[in-house]
Structure 1
């Protein structure tokens, strides 16, 4: 009969079972071939490029430059006009669409070049993102630096990027038909929404690859399910607000009613349902679109504070800090939104508002990630 042992008594390693003697710590990570840090650096570069695309895309919309290139040439369009004859050809093509005839009649070639460069730069950066994704993926694949289980995941951003290019042309083509002087707002919303999905997916991968696989697996067992669910709901509501913001930008609704907190002196905008059929008002009536955007902003702010309050109760300091920063960005975005309206969506304020939307989006994602995969440390360290 085995003798009782003290729980503090050291155990002779030679007495352990063969399986225990051969087991070594960190076996999960050793099975994970590849370089998480190399993949992460590549993803961070892609993240920065997609962020730049969102900003340049916003400036392209604010300067009404999106229809300056009237054809989709993914390969040959990489080169801009190289001489005056080519420039004149591009200008003549632009002169055939309604936006020129109804908004920019009499525009000079020099003025056309200014809007052309915005759209060309946006498209060119899109091509660069595709090249960086493809070459980076192939390079990491050939050198064996992609960790196990990540080959399929890392294809997704590239596939979505290709889809984004097609949606971009689908959006531009909507503004070339008769009676159109800008792109369809709902297509603009789809284009911007997919950009945020791609950005969020890349950010999520970066968060996950920053920690060893064994730590991720252990942290998942400590998931704060209530906080995880609430932050997921907040993420969805923020995405809806981003789409509504695109609708506002698509019809210049932010420049229509510039008083706050009222709209033209009342809570509800005047005559919000004049268009027929009725559903068009929710996409095309400036007063109603801006009103919905405002109301959703209030709802997002209130719910964000509720989620932040819940996050403050987390047992993990880094999770609490993540929700603190999310709340700071949320408050800043509300202030910027009000300023954007009251300043009639001036370019510098409007683009800052869009950039803050990206920051808030990523901070909500980060807070959600830490709610789902909390970082734990000892009490002595005083952090998590």
Structure 2
């Protein structure tokens, strides 16, 4: 074999001996500049009849010769057409749409884990009645807690002016105040950390153009939800600091259950969005790089998702996911009204399956003279009705999860579902059983803080299994499909 070059232009002439016929084939390259990658490719295609990928053995032998020259053009040729990343190089030359990398998916999963943590910490803050210990909202300077005795004294005096101190905690000591202060402070600081760890990488990925257009809008919405969480959090706390509580007979200083539900609901939506998007990014990347869809190489996703039985199963899964979210949201009303301290028995409530109708829909909660608001006010403001509704929703969710799991075990459905979907349904069924046990323990033992916090975390864990189920039944994104097709075309062409 011989290889020659001119000084100013790259003009290799490769002589390859054919073992079968003991003749020689000469591949001559036209003159090309060192900066022309397209012309560099023609060095291996000119002079060869037919498709440029017709003789892959010839390309390998050409490569074995030219790779020794260390020319910039030849090194770029090596990286683009003969490395393990040939698929991605081909995709780039074809101007394929942006496919988010696994780094984006991992960032979103880490962010969702942090939101999960802040939800749990927020639940503990509510259970320990620590949420009203900080009476001001300082988004920037509030990250620094009191550092000396004088600053602690100032914060304690502010707390002494609140209705909670005057009505409930008038005998609290400074050390006890510090405990509840740090609980609320950690919840707020964790929220700020989530904002920074989400926005900074988001700006980086956008500048590096690592996000496709559809993700831009989705991640912008998540950023808005993070900002809304801070505003909703303070709006919620402010409802428990109003002096009007002192003028209401029998009133207990607590935050509005409506604002608490909005605060929790927004956090859950943010968590589900981050988790679902992160899982989608990672699964799309794996699919585009040759990994099988649904966890099995023998499954064609077009055939699976077009099957009427799978479509019905997917609709049922979406309905169950919405039911899980609604049940978790009803738990916020239970927490906001301390409704878990009523009727600490199961399955009965006061010796019967349901309390008397006049107790469930008492006119004492109506504020209109004609009583037209008695229905919805009892549903959201009557502790007895709120607990009853949560029980009904919880049992409906549990039974629905069991039925969906049983449906997935039917031979006809089991044969159609991808392996990842079957795993997700099984995980949801297992988590539903754990959640029922935690709920019963919370009720029967008068809402102990560790068990109640675990119950709230269990609701988010159950929602996580349902989100994973929906992602496993989702078709690959358009960008992933195009990258997959380009990769298969490159492999079939012998790259």
Paired residues for 1:98-137 under 5 Å: 98-137=163-202
Q: Is residue 2:190 matched to residue 1:88? A: no
Q: Is residue 2:393 matched to residue 1:296? A: yes
Specify the SS of the correspondent of 1:372: coil
Size of the aligned set, in residue pairs, is: 357
Structure with max Cα Rg: 2
- Give per-residue Cα distances to partners, 1:115-153, cap 9 Å, x unaligned: 010111100111111111111112222334335643332
Please, which of 259, 266, 272 is the counterpart of residue 352 of structure 2? 266
Match of 1:333 in 2: 435
Q: TM-score, normalised on structure 1?
A: 0.86
In the alignment, the residues of structure 2 paired with residue 227 and residue 25 of structure 1 have an alpha-carbon distance, to the nearest angstrom, of: 35
The 8 Å contact of residues 107 and 278 in structure 2, kept in 1 or not, is answered as: no
In the alignment, the residues of structure 2 paired with residue 297 and residue 149 of structure 1 have an alpha-carbon distance, to the nearest angstrom, of: 35
The 8 Å contact of residues 222 and 373 in structure 1, kept in 2 or not, is answered as: no
Paired residues for 1:149-298 under 5 Å: 149-177=214-242, 178-179=244-245, 181-212=253-284, 219=301, 222-223=304-305, 224-269=310-355, 271-274=359-362, 275-277=364-366, 278=374, 279-298=376-395
Quote the offset at 1:367 in angstroms: 1.1
Return 5+ residue gaps in structure 2 as ranges. Answer: 1-48, 55-85, 246-251, 295-299, 367-373, 477-495
Q: Is residue 2:127 matched to residue 1:62? A: yes
Paired residues for 1:16-27 under 5 Å: none
Deviates further, 301-310 or 104-113: 301-310
Q: Is residue 2:467 matched to residue 1:365? A: yes
Match of 1:323 in 2: 425
Deviates further, 142-151 or 46-55: 142-151
Quote the offset at 1:233 in angstroms: 0.6
Return 5+ residue gaps in structure 1 as ranges. Answer: 1-12, 19-23, 375-384
Quote the offset at 1:17 in angstroms: 12
- Give per-residue Cα distances to partners, 1:288-332, cap 9 Å, x unaligned: 111110011111112222222333324222211211111111121
In the alignment, the residues of structure 1 paired with residue 276 and residue 302 of structure 2 have an alpha-carbon distance, to the nearest angstrom, of: 15
Q: TM-score, normalised on structure 2?
A: 0.67
The 8 Å contact of residues 100 and 281 in structure 2, kept in 1 or not, is answered as: no
- Give per-residue Cα distances to partners, 1:75-104, cap 9 Å, x unaligned: 121111122222111111111111111111
In the alignment, the residues of structure 1 paired with residue 464 and residue 318 of structure 2 have an alpha-carbon distance, to the nearest angstrom, of: 13
Specify the SS of the correspondent of 1:69: coil
The 8 Å contact of residues 33 and 146 in structure 1, kept in 2 or not, is answered as: yes
The 8 Å contact of residues 109 and 279 in structure 2, kept in 1 or not, is answered as: no
In the alignment, the residues of structure 1 paired with residue 302 and residue 125 of structure 2 have an alpha-carbon distance, to the nearest angstrom, of: 42
The 8 Å contact of residues 51 and 199 in structure 1, kept in 2 or not, is answered as: yes
In the alignment, the residues of structure 1 paired with residue 332 and residue 113 of structure 2 have an alpha-carbon distance, to the nearest angstrom, of: 21
Quote the offset at 1:28 in angstroms: 6.3
In the alignment, the residues of structure 2 paired with residue 133 and residue 25 of structure 1 have an alpha-carbon distance, to the nearest angstrom, of: 31
Quote the offset at 1:111 in angstroms: 0.9
Deviates further, 204-213 or 164-173: 204-213
Quote the offset at 1:40 in angstroms: 1.4
Quote the offset at 1:257 in angstroms: 1.5
Quote the offset at 1:373 in angstroms: 3.6
Q: After TM superposition, which residue ranges in structure 1, 4 or more long, deviate above 6 angstroms?
A: 15-18, 24-30
